[in-house]
Amino acid sequence: MSSPVDIPFHSFVKIDRRKKDAIYLQVVYQFINAVKSNLLEEGDQLPGSRLIAKELQLHRKTIVAALEELQDQGWVEAVPNIGTFVKNPEQSTNAAEKNQGFKHPPEKASFYYRKEFILDTALEENLGTYCFTDGTPDFRIMKLEELVRFYTSAIKRKKPSGFVSKTIDGNLYFRDQLRYFLNVTRGFHLLKGFVLPMAGFEQVHSILARLLIHTGSVVLVEELSYFLPNMIYNQAGAKMKTIPVDTDGMDTNYIEKNFNPGDIRFVYLNPRCHYPTTVKLSEERKLHLLFLAEQYNFIIIEDDSDFEFSLNKNKQDSLFRKNGGHRVIYVGAFGRFLNPGFQRNFIIAPKDLLQEGAKYLNIFGKPDIMMDKALGELIHQGDIHRYLRKSKKIIAERRDMFAQLLQINFKNQIDFRTPTSGLAFWIAFKEVFSLTLLQKAAGKKGLFIPSICLYQNQSITALRLGFAHLNLHEMETAITLLAEAYWEVKNSI
């Protein structure tokens, strides 16, 4: 072991008292950098803490704290009655790995494991300069710095009201604020215990599948419906049956004619904005579906995830409002226009069902208590209403501009209706051609069209194109490129 190093500590430790980092941590970080850059080498003996403190003009207790932290992390070793020596744990680990000979896992497993082709995703990587989606918000609208302010405030608060550290119920404060928000914005009159929030859309449907589906349970969904819940229900053992959709939404008469009482476990639909066609379930069919639910003894799962993107102010629209939750389980989203980390999904249902469903949250990981607290404050302080108004205003402007650009660029080649809810247009072409060729032609121009936006069979040649994620310049460019690709494909036929 060597004598104490001659390298002056002030040459690699620079204290900046303006930084938020504690002084001893600044010493620790810069010491570690000196070891990594070989300015200090393994085995070098350090001067005593008094000498280091004197050189850096710091209190000796600060240096002692820094050395203790370095020793805890393995960057120094204190030998009693001899001294303190530099260690490099990363170098030691690398040497050990070389000695043992690291064995990389094979490309293919040598053992049996279960494969679920049902769960193969239709999502693709965006490879274009411009892109369409099937309907997503523009997360650039709401400044992330504003949202982070609420999260930081929740962390710093010494006595956060509603803080729950060990409970499957999650953050009761957020649940209560969310219930208040839903009552105000959607015209509900929910009491405590009737809302179960969770992080992901997938969690909602995975929990409902576990609670409601047995092998062979018949689940009815709208024709051309959203693939993700269908995948989850199918994987859980349900027999999926599709119901035709027309301009009035799901054809409830088809259910009455083709099924008997007791056949159906539940019907899953989005009555506000059918995916992908954006059509709305008519009032007559809403009442008919509720009547059938009673007569045929089935449940309705109403997906109202597009409520925040609805420009229709009628709060009486939902099946849940008409039925009071006796036959309807209501699922929705909170803050879908916010950065994804600040979004939540929820289920509204009978209290005992939600208590059972809450048990499954342990499978998906504990709730982010601090995030829930921050979201609760976002509601409590009223900022969420300001963000929602701003989001709706911009969405309305972009929707109208998208409709104008479609009309200008495609004229009489397409049929579409400006949607009153959601973030996408359903665009039906009047002539049949290959959408795959259109996709490829657009890709060559730098415009990416995901396959989930393409709908083609014997009776349909259509696109579902999202508009809200594009600003006006991006939108104009994207539609121009799409039109150029369309005319190239059409003229080549």
pLDDT by residue (tens digit) across 266-296?
999 999 999 999 999 999 999 999 999 999 9
Q: Is residue 1 part of a domain?
A: no
Q: What is the CATH number of the domain that holds 247?
A: 3.40.640.10
Q: Same domain for 38 and 57? A: yes
Question: Residue 148: pLDDT above 80?
Answer: yes
By CB neighbour count within 10 A (0-12 exposed, 13-18 middle, 19+ buried), where does 197 fall? buried
Residue 473 has pLDDT above 70, yes or no: yes
| Same domain assignment for residues 356 and 227 | yes
Average pLDDT of the segment spanning 415-422: 94
Asked whether residue 294 falls in the same domain as residue 419, the answer is no
In a domain, residue 247? The reply is yes
Q: Considering the domain boundaries, does residue 79 fall inside one?
A: yes
Q: What is the pLDDT of residue 97?
A: 55
Q: Percent of the chain having pLDDT more than 70?
A: 90
The larger pLDDT score, comparing residue 151 to residue 472, is at 472
Q: Which of 32-41, 119-128, 223-232, 311-320 has the lowest mean pLDDT?
A: 119-128
Q: Which domain holds residue 461?
A: 130-137+388-492
Residue 111 scores a pLDDT above 90? no
| pLDDT of 316 | 64
Contacts of the segment 140-144: beta carbons below 8 A, 24+ positions apart? 141/337, 141/390, 141/391, 141/394, 142/337, 142/338, 142/339, 142/387, 142/390, 142/391, 144/339
Instruction: Give the pLDDT confidence score for residue 240 in this predicted structure.
Output: 96
Q: What does the alpha-carbon distance between residue 155 and residue 200 come to, in Å, rounded to a whole number?
A: 22
Residue 114 placed within a domain: no
Residue where one domain finishes, among candidates 381, 397, 428: 381
Average pLDDT over residues 388-397: 94
- Residue 311 lies inside a defined structural domain of this protein: yes
In which residue are the tokens 């850096």 written?
Answer: 56
The Cα 22–Cα 140 span in angstroms is 34
The pLDDT confidence band at residue 126, using thresholds 50, 70 and 90, is low
pLDDT band (50, 70, 90) for residue 430: very high
Q: Which of 8-12, 58-62, 230-234, 266-270 has the lowest mean pLDDT?
A: 8-12
- 453 pLDDT band (50/70/90 cuts)? very high
User: Is 105 within the bounds of a domain?
Assistant: no
Mean pLDDT of the chain: 88
Q: 240 or 81: which carries more pLDDT confidence?
A: 240
- Structural domain includes residue 425: yes
Between 48-57, 111-120, 177-186, the lowest mean confidence (pLDDT) is in 111-120
Do 446 and 301 belong to one domain? no
What is the band of 365 on the pLDDT scale with cuts at 50, 70, 90?
Answer: low
419 and 312 in one domain? no
Distances 291 to 11, 212, 302, 432, 493 between C-alpha atoms, Å: 81, 21, 15, 39, 50
Q: How confident is the model at residue 143 (pLDDT cuts 50, 70, 90)?
A: confident
3-state secondary structure of 481: helix
Domain presence at residue 122: no
Count the domains in the chain: 3
The whole-number pLDDT of residue 167 equals: 47
Burial of 128 (0-12, 13-18, 19+ CB in 10 A): middle
Predicted local distance difference test score (pLDDT) of residue 1: 47
What number of other Cβ atoms are within 10 A of residue 144's Cβ?
Answer: 13
Q: Which of 77-86, 363-372, 382-391 has the lowest mean pLDDT?
A: 363-372
Residue 169's pLDDT is 43
| pLDDT over 90 at 177, yes or no | yes
**Are residue 320 and residue 414 in the same domain, yes or no?**
no
Q: What is the pLDDT of residue 107?
A: 79
Residue 39: which of 6, 62, 72, 66 has the closest Cα?
6
Same domain, 335 and 267: yes
Contact assessment for residue 175 and residue 164, using Cβ atoms and an 8 Å cutoff: no
Question: Residue 165 above 70 pLDDT?
Answer: no
Determine the average pLDDT of the residues in 69-96.
Answer: 84
Query: End of a domain among 320, 350, 381?
Result: 381
Out of 363, 381, 399, a domain closes at 381
